[in-house]
């Protein structure tokens, strides 16, 4: 089903500008969710809503499920394999350089500027245009469902994707979830897991003129910080896909200066009795959360003057490189393949047993940047390549 390039450009640009018209940050997506819900209900689509998150398409909910979403036994029973087109509708707060969406020229190419242009309203624009194509949906070997959810850019407990998957359990029967996060047009498989741990060094307060009366908790951390400076990246391969484990000290404070140390500022002539480092460990999907936490604790070591408190955990997602549907996607899209060197919501799908991958038109270098933009050509190319997967062309006859 060939689509004229000029028609694709104009439709995708219009879709994206509509989504960018008002930048809705995490927690404030309600008006955009309202507009999207009206749009698809008016088009006659089945729509489920959980909070400010939406599922378009799929089976009509049973009467019990209308009152109580996620009623037990609500499973996928369609005749075609289920494929999900997935995107989050929230963005980070806008800046003066991207508050007003517009089309412009940048380095000789046409771009759309606006908060969320790359991360990830461009992916949503492509997903919506494909889902809106009734002819494609009728002819595709897959049943397409559009999932637009809220809260991805904010705190983890505000991310509504897990609630949506629980409210519509048939989504877990999907053969594949395509998460249209910005990937520069590459196919990025799996994702890293992540841990944040507070490493607290306990010393003894003393006068800085007589440090032998105490023990400086700040300098106690020197050996660990020097080690992290020397050895903070390790290459890991999973299913032939390259990832990197990364160890990063991202914050540090003495007693009275950190978020968990009270409000009294210490004097400059006092040796600190406590020094805390926030250690962020990003790890490849070669192991799970439990193994990664054990690895972190072993690296810090067991000492009575060091406390380790893991305060945030995000599971990784496997690449599923040898899964037939992922192989079919990679072959049809014919784009570079790599591992996702970050965390994305493919990990939430992994929790529910759904193979998922990252593929979208947005530019990773533009995510969260001031004056955020996306090339229109990138939208057109993502739309074209996705259609090659969703509507495979028959091969030549063998006579």
CATH number at residue 334: 3.40.630.10
Assess if residue 345 is contained within a domain.
Answer: yes
Q: Based on the domain organization, do 223 and 257 belong to the same domain?
A: yes
Same domain, 223 and 254: yes
How do the pLDDT tens digits run along the chain, 399 residues long? 455 567 899 999 999 999 999 999 999 999 999 999 999 999 999 999 999 999 999 987 764 344 344 445 578 888 899 999 999 999 999 999 999 999 999 999 999 999 999 999 999 999 999 999 999 999 999 999 999 999 999 888 889 999 999 999 999 999 999 999 999 999 999 999 999 999 999 999 999 999 999 999 999 999 999 999 999 999 999 999 999 999 999 999 997 665 555 556 667 899 999 999 999 999 999 999 999 999 999 999 988 999 999 999 999 999 999 999 999 999 999 999 999 999 999 999 999 999 999 999 999 999 999 999 999 999 999 999 999 999 977 654 443
Q: Point out the domain boundary residue: 314, 336, 364.
A: 314
Active site amino acids = 90, 152
Pair (103, 18) in one structural domain? yes
Q: SS3 string of the chain?
A: CCCCHHHHHHHHHHHHHHHHCCCCECCCCHHHHHHHHHHHHHCCCCEEEECCEEEECCCCCCHHHHHCCCCCCCCCCCCCCEEEEEEECCECCCCCCCCCCEEEEECCEEEEECCCHHHHHHHHHHHHHHHCCHHHHHHCCCEEEEEEECCCCCCHHHCCHHHHHHHCHHHHHCCEEEECCCCCCCEEECECEEEEEEEEEECECEECCCHHHCECHHHHCHHHHHHHHHCCEEEEEECCEEEEEEEEEEEEEECCCCCCCCCCCCCCCEECCEEEEEEEEEECCCCCHHHHHHHHHHHHCCCCCEEEEEEEEECCECCCCCCHHHHHHHHHHCCCEEECCCCCCHHHHHHCCCCEEEECCCCHHHCCCCCCEEEHHHHHHHHHHHHHHHCCCCCCCCC
Same domain, residue pair 186 and 309: no
Does 25 reside within a domain?
Answer: yes
The reply to whether 183 and 200 lie within a common domain is no
Do 166 and 18 lie in one domain? The reply is yes
Domain interval for residue 347: 5-190+317-390
- Point out the domain boundary residue: 314, 337, 371: 314
Q: Are residues 255 and 281 in the same domain?
A: yes
Which domain-ending residue is among 266, 286, 314? 314
Together in a domain, 149 and 43: yes
| Shared domain check, 386 and 344 | yes
Tell me, yes or no, whether 399 lies in a domain: no
* 293 shares a domain with 340: no
Domain-embedded: residue 163: yes
Domain count, the chain: 2
Q: Taking the model in full, what pTM does it have? A: 0.86
């Amino acid at each position: 089903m060939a689509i004229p390039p000029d028609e694709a450009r104009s439709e995708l640009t219009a879709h994206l500008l509509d989504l960018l018209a008002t930048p809705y940050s995490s927690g404030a997506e309600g008006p955009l969710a309202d507009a999207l819900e009206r749009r698809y209900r008016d088009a006659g689509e089945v729509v489920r809503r959980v909070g400010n998150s939406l599922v378009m398409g799929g089976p009509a909910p049973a009467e019990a499920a209308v009152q109580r979403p996620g009623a037990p036994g609500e499973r996928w029973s369609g005749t075609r394999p289920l494929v999900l087109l997935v995107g989050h509708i929230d963005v980070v707060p806008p800046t003066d350089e991207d508050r007003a969406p517009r089309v412009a020229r940048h380095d000789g190419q046409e771009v759309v500027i606006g908060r969320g242009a790359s991360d990830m309203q461009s992916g949503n624009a492509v997903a919506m245009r494909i889902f809106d194509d009734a002819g494609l949906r009728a002819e595709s070997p897959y049943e397409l469902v559009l999932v637009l959810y809220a809260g991805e850019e904010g705190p983890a407990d505000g991310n509504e994707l897990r609630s949506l998957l629980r409210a519509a359990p048939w989504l877990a029967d999907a053969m594949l979830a395509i998460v249209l996060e910005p990937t520069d047009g590459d196919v990025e498989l799996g994702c890293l897991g992540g841990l944040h741990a507070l490493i607290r060094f306990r010393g003894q307060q003393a006068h800085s003129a007589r440090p032998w009366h105490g023990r400086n908790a700040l300098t106690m951390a020197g050996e660990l910080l020097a080690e992290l400076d020397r050895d903070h990246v390790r290459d890991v391969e999973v299913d032939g896909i390259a990832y990197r484990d990364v160890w990063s000290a991202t914050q540090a404070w003495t007693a009275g200066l950190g978020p968990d140390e009270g409000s009294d500022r210490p004097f400059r002539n006092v040796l600190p009795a406590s020094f805390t480092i926030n250690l962020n460990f990003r790890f490849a999907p070669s192991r799970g959360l439990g193994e990664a936490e054990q690895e972190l604790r072993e690296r810090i070591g067991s000492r009575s003057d060091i406390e380790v408190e893991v305060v945030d955990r995000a599971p990784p997602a496997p690449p599923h490189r040898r899964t037939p549907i992922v192989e079919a996607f990679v072959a049809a899209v014919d784009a570079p393949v790599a591992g996702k060197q970050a965390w994305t919501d493919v990990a939430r799908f992994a929790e529910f047993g759904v193979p998922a991958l990252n593929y979208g038109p947005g530019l990773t270098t533009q995510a969260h940047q001031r004056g955020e933009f996306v090339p229109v050509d990138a939208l057109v190319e993502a739309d074209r390549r996705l259609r090659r997967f969703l509507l495979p062309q028959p091969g030549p006859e063998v006579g």
